[in-house]
C-alpha cells in the first residue's frame, strides 16, 4: 500500500469496568489504515475486534494511546466532536441492520442524507445495492438480506471516508451473505471508501487487501493478500 495513512492508532489500550471487574479489551495496539483499502478483522469473541472498530468509528475513546483520523485526534475528542466525526466521515453497518422500523427503505437512507454535507440521492444509494424497487417498503416487508443492503445503502449514502461493518453477514445465510459482501466490495471499489469488516468467518479474509488477526486484545498477525478474491467466489 503506497497511499498515506488515514487512520493512525498508537499504543492504544482500552480497559472497561464491568461491575467490579476490569476487562482489558485492547492491549497496546498500533495500526494504520490507508485510503481505499479493504481490511478484514478476524478473531474469536472477546478478542477486541469490536472495541477496535468502536475506537475507529468514534463511538468510544481509548484508555491510553492515540487514535488519529487525518489531523483529528479522536482520542482527545468529546462527545460533540465525536458525533460530528461520525456524522461527516463514518458509515456503519451492523449485524442486525438497525433499520428504523417506522421508516421505509428510502427514508432510512434519507435519515442520514438529511444530515450529511454532500450525500448521494437516497435512490442512488439504493440503486448501488440494487434495491431501487424496494425503496418504499418498510423493514417489516423486507428479507434479512434486503434489510442489510438497505443498511449498507444508508451507510454509504453520505459518501463516508470509512465504512465500518460489524459482522455484516452474521445474521444471514450464505447466499445472502455473499450478496451483501459483493455490495461492500463494490462500494469499496467504486467509491474508494476505506472498508473494515469484522467477522468470525475466516473465509471472508480472502476478499480483503489486508487481514488482521486479533486475540486477547492484541493484533497478533497482519497479512496482506497478494490478490483479492472476488466476493462472488467466496465459499463457506
Cross-strand bridge partners of residue 194: 162
User: Judged by CB, which is closer to other proteins: 114, or 221?
Assistant: 114
Which region among 36-44, 70-78, 103-111, 205-213 touches other proteins (by CB under 8 A)? Answer: 103-111
- Does position 103 interact with other proteins (CB under 8 A)? The reply is yes
Sheet holding 72-73, edge to edge: 21-34, 5-18, 64-69, 72-73
CA distances from 164 to 15, 44, 216, 233 (A): 22, 18, 21, 22
- Does position 124 interact with other proteins (CB under 8 A)? The reply is no
CB of 232 to other proteins, least distance (A): 27
- Give helix 174-191 / helix 144-156 axis angle, nearest 10°: 10
Phi-psi region of 201 (alpha: psi -120 to 50; beta: other; left: phi over 0): beta
Residues 68-87 that bind other proteins (CB under 8 A): 79-80, 83-84, 86-87
Residues 146-165 that bind other proteins (CB under 8 A): 154
- Contact with other proteins (CB under 8 A): which of 56, 110, 135, 205? 110
- Does position 117 interact with other proteins (CB under 8 A)? The reply is no
User: Judged by CB, which is closer to other proteins: 169, or 234?
Assistant: 169
- Contact with other proteins (CB under 8 A): which of 92, 150, 163, 177? 92
- Does position 23 interact with other proteins (CB under 8 A)? The reply is no
227's grid cell: 490478490
- Residue 212 Cα to chain centre, angstroms: 14
* DSSP string computed for 122-185: HHHHHHHTT-GGGTT--GGGS-HHHHHHHHHHHHHTT--SEEEEESTTTTS-HHHHHHHHHHHH
The contact set with other proteins (CB under 8 A) reads 50, 54, 57, 59-60, 79-80, 83-84, 86-88, 90, 92, 94-96, 98-104, 107-108, 110-112, 114-116, 138-140, 154, 166
Amino acid at each position: 500500500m503506497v497511499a498515506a495513512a488515514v487512520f493512525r492508532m498508537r499504543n492504544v489500550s482500552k480497559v472497561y469496568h464491568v461491575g467490579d471487574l476490569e476487562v482489558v479489551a485492547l492491549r497496546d495496539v498500533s495500526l494504520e489504515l490507508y485510503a481505499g483499502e479493504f481490511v478484514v478483522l478476524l478473531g474469536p469473541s472477546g478478542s477486541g475486534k469490536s472495541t477496535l472498530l468502536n475506537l475507529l468509528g468514534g463511538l468510544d475513546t481509548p484508555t491510553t494511546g492515540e487514535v488519529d483520523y487525518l489531523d483529528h485526534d479522536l482520542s482527545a475528542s468529546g462527545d460533540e466532536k465525536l458525533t460530528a466525526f461520525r456524522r461527516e466521515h463514518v458509515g456503519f453497518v451492523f449485524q442486525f441492520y438497525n433499520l428504523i422500523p417506522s421508516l421505509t427503505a428510502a427514508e432510512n437512507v434519507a435519515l442520514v442524507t438529511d444530515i450529511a454535507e454532500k450525500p448521494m440521492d437516497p435512490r442512488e444509494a439504493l440503486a448501488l445495492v440494487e434495491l431501487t424497487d424496494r425503496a418504499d417498503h418498510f423493514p417489516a416487508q423486507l428479507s434479512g438480506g434486503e434489510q442489510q443492503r438497505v443498511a449498507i445503502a444508508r451507510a454509504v449514502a453520505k459518501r463516508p471516508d470509512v465504512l465500518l461493518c460489524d459482522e455484516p453477514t452474521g445474521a444471514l445465510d450464505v447466499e445472502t451473505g455473499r450478496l451483501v459482501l459483493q455490495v461492500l466490495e463494490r462500494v469499496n471499489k467504486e467509491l474508494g471508501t476505506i472498508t473494515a469488516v469484522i467477522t468470525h468467518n475466516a473465509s471472508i479474509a480472502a476478499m480483503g487487501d489486508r487481514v488482521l488477526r486479533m486475540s486477547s486484545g492484541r493484533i497478533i498477525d497482519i497479512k496482506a493478500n497478494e490478490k483479492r478474491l472476488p466476493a462472488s467466489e467466496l465459499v463457506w
